[in-house]
Amino acid sequence: MAMRSRGLQLRSRRESLLVVVVGVLLLLATAAPRVAAAGLSRNYYAKTCPNVEALVRGAVTQKLQETFNAAPGTLRLFFHDCFVRGCDASVLISGPGDEHSAGADTTLSPDALDLITRAKAAVDADAGCSNKVSCADILALATRDVVQQAGGPSYPVELGRLDGKVGTRAVVKHSLPGAGFSLDQLNKLFAANGLTQTDMIALSGGHTIGVTHCDKFVRRLYTFKGARPQYSPPMNLAFLRQMRGTCPLNYSPATVAMLDAVTPNRFDNGYYQTLQQQKGLLSSDQVLFADRRSRATVNHFASNQTAFFDAFVAAMAKLGRIGVKTAGSDAEIRRVCTKVN
């Protein structure tokens, strides 16, 4: 009996140790990464433009006082930039065959583009900073600031990116997630960019602010099998009727709907709560709750805003490292963000 008792005690200790180890691993997985990508650092402009963060933040504050649309627009702009050609501000280039004349980039926010233009002007107006800060870094800083000023987390931003010299529409379509993507499709695309499923779900939480156009979800509202609605993933019936009022069959291309109708102007975990209620507009959003493989993470973020914020910060750090250019003839610091030098 004594040997059996000692055996049970050892087993109990092993199980307790396993719980502790798993907890530590989860904590490390969601903690903000501290190792910067090669060539990036948090104090990159400490000597050349020490006021850069304050200058960008001032431009953000002024723009958000004029219109909140710049907040979700800037967050989306940063995501699209990093996923298409890496975080090199190529999404800002304007001209024949540019990125924002193709696919999902055609609906990028003019207010977000204006915000980056203003922030660049504010930085370059400082005599010590003129033409020393890249548009890519300004976009990264502005994204952090719009998230924070909308009620979300603040976080350190790694700096030192250079601006790309090429922006082509041909690569846009296959680089961004579609509104009808399945979980497998989402995971495949994000994994190709070094991001995990948890990263993907956390970044999707950026949909807690902003809008989407009717054409991105209208098929979910009017797909029938016989006389009964046939939509997948499921949608709350009352919400379905409400959205049909917003987006009738003859909807205007300019009509939009809030991605998070409860707190549309606040960066919080409300997005995940709407998914629990089957009120996700985009199929690619609602599938995160509908698919059992991702549901637990959605439930966790819905009940724990701090956990969501921590995961979001960690994912944003990884996002900001995708395809960065820190040297070479294919990169520069643009004098004007919308065109190469």
Residues marked as catalytic? 80
| 207 among annotated binding-site residues | yes
| 88 among annotated binding-site residues | yes
| 177 among annotated binding-site residues | yes
What is the end-to-end Cα distance of the chain in Å, rounded? Answer: 82
| 106 among annotated binding-site residues | no
- Are the CB atoms for 164 and 151 separated by under 8 Å? no
Nearest Cα to 280, choosing from 195, 216, 193, 190? 216
Which helix (H) or strand (E) covers residue 224, if one does? strand 224-225
| 213 among annotated binding-site residues | no
| 105 among annotated binding-site residues | no
Residue with tokens 């000597």: 47
The gap from C-alpha 181 to its chain's centroid, in whole angstroms, comes to 16
| 86 among annotated binding-site residues | yes
| 330 among annotated binding-site residues | no
| 66 among annotated binding-site residues | no
| 81 among annotated binding-site residues | yes
What is the rounded distance in angstroms from the CA atom of residue 263 to the CA atom of residue 209?
A: 8
What is the rounded distance in angstroms from the CA atom of residue 64 to the CA atom of residue 112?
A: 10
| 199 among annotated binding-site residues | no
| 252 among annotated binding-site residues | no
Other C-beta atoms closer than 10 Å to the C-beta of 253 total 8
Per-residue burial over 17-31, b if 16 or more Cβ lie within 10 Å, else e, is eeeeeeeeeeeeebe
Q: Classify residue 193 by burial, with Cβ atoms within 10 Å: 0-12, 13-18, 19+.
A: middle
Which residues are annotated as part of the binding site? 81, 84, 86, 88, 90, 99, 177, 207-208, 260, 263, 268
Which residues are annotated as part of the binding site for heme b? 207
Which residues are annotated as part of the binding site for substrate? 177
Which residues are annotated as part of the binding site for Ca(2+)? 81, 84, 86, 88, 90, 99, 208, 260, 263, 268
